Chains A and B, each alone.
Chain A
Amino acid sequence: MQVIIQSALLQGLVYAFMVLGVFITFRVLDFPDLTVDGSLPLGAAVTAALIAGGQSPVLATAAGVLAGLCAGVVTGFLHLLLKSGDSDATNYGPKLLAGILTMTALYTVNLRIMGKSNTPLLGVQVIFDKIGALFSLSMVAWNLIIALAALAVAVKYLLDWLLHTEFGLCLQATGDNESMIRAMGTNTNITRIVGLGIANAMVALSGSLVAQQQGFADVGMGIGTIVAGLAGVIMGEVLFGVRSISWVLFSVIGGSIVYRLLIAVSLRFGIAPTDLKLLTAVLVVVALSVPTVRRKVMHS
């Protein structure tokens, strides 16, 4: 049991940054961004290639995050190109297509970066070793979990602050009522592009940390990221509530952990790893229907 909980916490925390990124696009910007399936392995590929090439893991992680930021910005520009003049904020076609295009292109980019489909990171120093050396601790088991939790909380507060700055309020309003914030003098094309950049930077951070934690980067590791991200966001919202932005940022981190816990338990009970994607999709559907069912029950 302890192994399951430990593994769920570990997985939940390394993927929490991705879930926060998906929260920013999906909820804050009202932009269902499929770039994440490509930007997660992008973060992993850049980091792994740099570490394997002898670079410092801190620099390699930062480069991975930066690459994710660029991927988000590319999606933002593609969206601008695809929607050309259409000011209907609820038209999701161009948003979906922009993400799909970037995601598809990133598959090639990721292969090119690594030069092969898989880059192992065995017997090399990763960022966790660097952090551990700082505190003279070995980064295994609970130490690693605590370090990741601290990082997640730090990133949560950073995001919380950002979303409440003047720029952050404009970012929130871009997803909430675009024509209104344009009427307040904000160029929503810019806020959306920056928002997509920040979100994909977070997703790439997850990818980078996942690669360093599991000891390899793989070109296929991003498949289903958007659905896993949604699962984390929706389960967090349903289980822990949405009373304010500050609160919901914690909720989705919790959602990420609960989701990985469910996965770990499923694996324990003999579900094949190849069946997990179907299971995840079902989980998302169930979590999505909870509010509807709850309303129906209360009205009957």
Chain B
Amino acid sequence: MSASAPLELIGIRKVFFPGTANEVVALDGVDLGVPAGQFVSIIGSNGSGKSTLLNAVAGTFPVTSGRVVLGGRDVTRQPDYVRSRSMGRVFQDPRAGTAPDMTIEENLALSLLRTKRSGLRLGVTNRRRAVMREQLSRLGMGLEERLKAGVSKLSGGQRQAMSLLMATIAEPSLLLLDEHTAALDPKVAQTIMELTGEIVAERQLTTLMVTHNMELALRYGDRLLMMHAGRVVLDLSRELKQELQVSDLIEKFHEVAGEAFAVDRLLLDT
């Protein structure tokens, strides 16, 4: 992996509640290099460590051991808010990505400020409004006409579309998607996923997408990782994953994990 890879994880371990009866090894030595512009889908059952992996990248908690390297810089000790200046993130809960009591334009202004120091200039300017309108219009939800509406008045799908826009508007060097369509109804989930594909392709964003949904993982992304018990147990390139069906994936899982799998959950999610 070249030194300027957007993301490099070296021997990441994360142990929750170490030394207690509740000790959990959530990540058990993960090594991962992601080259620029790659879209990585990550699947795995509950408790496999896939969301913990995103949190480790984002700096939500300090890792137990190992190193996180972003764009060639070791950020292992950097707090979350510093790392997030170059990182966009969308969570499963549509409420997590926006500030409900603020207006649409104020939320978007915050996302435009990601890479800048916020000062005592006005947050929402006409120049920024023009950018917001243009960006919102591509969502096809008419939000560009409702800049002054409170975000709490929007539907879950609209809020998640805004979260996606806010995560990508400042051209992050890394985009983290944490089951970002799992809490939406199927039709809305599809719209958001298509939008995600478009934005990622258009801006060539380096992306990690965690999902429960095997079909999504196969359809989207250039690379597929399967996690189990805190390790990456399967790493498929675009060429290899193109030939796979969901059933193949389940079989693969049995091979590498060697135990009964929560198949029902995964199938029901599709």
Contacts and interface: CB of A to CB of B under 8 A. Distances in A.
A186 B81 contact: yes
Interface string A174-188: 001101111111111
B102 A185 contact: no
A184 B83 CA distance: 9
Contacts of A172: 99, 101-102, 106
A293 interface: no
A166 B102 contact: no
B98 A166 contact: no
Most buried by B among A165, A172, A176, A183: A183
A112 interface: no
A170 interface: yes
A268 interface: no
A177 B106 contact: no
B21 interface: no
A29 to B, nearest CB: 12
B124 A184 contact: no
Q: Name the prevailing secondary structure of the B interface residues.
A: loop
B118 interface: yes
B58 A166 contact: no
Contacts of A164: 122-124
A22 to B, nearest CB: 17
Nearest to B152: A176
B3 interface: no
A142 interface: no
Nearest to B89: A183
Contacts of A165: 118-123
Interface residues of B, number: 34
A300 to B, nearest CB: 25
Nearest to B163: A180
B127 to A, nearest CB: 13
A247 interface: no
A161 to B, nearest CB: 8
A173 interface: yes
B115 interface: yes
Contacts of A176: 99-102
B131 interface: no
Given A181-B99, A184-B114, A166 B123 contact: yes
Among B81, B96, B120, B121, the one with the most A-chain Cβ atoms within 10 Å of its Cβ is B81
A169 B81 contact: no
B97 A180 contact: yes
A180 to B, nearest CB: 6
Interface string B74-97: 000001111011010100000111
Given A173-B102, A173-B110, A186 B97 contact: no
Contact of B100 (A166, A177, A181, A184): A177
12 contacts: A164-B122, A165-B122, A167-B119, A167-B120, A169-B113, A170-B113, A172-B106, A176-B102, A177-B96, A180-B98, A184-B110, A184-B166
Given A165-B118, A176-B100, A185-B81, 11 more contacts: A165-B120, A165-B122, A166-B113, A166-B121, A169-B118, A170-B113, A177-B98, A183-B84, A184-B113, A184-B114, A188-B81
Interface of B: 58, 60, 79-82, 84-85, 87, 89, 95-102, 106, 109-111, 113-116, 118-124, 166
Which 10 pairs between the two chains have the least Cβ-Cβ distance? A166-B118, A185-B85, A176-B99, A169-B123, A177-B99, A173-B99, A182-B81, A166-B123, A165-B120, A183-B84
Interface of A: 87, 162, 164-170, 172-173, 176-177, 179-188
